[in-house]
Structure 1
Amino acid sequence: MRSGFIAVLATALFTLSGCATPAAEVFYNASYPAFESVSELKEAADLVIEGEIISSAVRELDIASEPTGAAADDPELSPNGSERDTRSVMVFTVHEVQVQRVLKGSSIESERVQVKELGGTLGKTAYLTEGGVLLREGESYVMFLETYESTPASLLNPVQAAYQNVHGKWTSMAGNSLAVEDVAELS
Structure 2
Amino acid sequence: MQYTTTYSSPVGGILLAADEIGLTGLWFDGEKFYAKSLDPEHEEKEVPLFKDVKHWLDLYFSGRKPDFMPPVHMLGSTFQLSVWHILEQIPYGQITIYGEIAKQIAASRGLAQMSAQAVGGAVGHNPISIIIPCHRVVGTNGSLTGYAGGIQKKIALLTLEGAPVDTLSIPTKGTAL
Fold conserved between structures, TM > 0.5: no
Q: Which has the larger radius of gyration?
A: 1
TM superposition score normalised by structure 2? 0.26
Q: Normalized per residue, which structure has more strand?
A: 1
Higher relative contact order (CA 8 A, sep 6+): 1
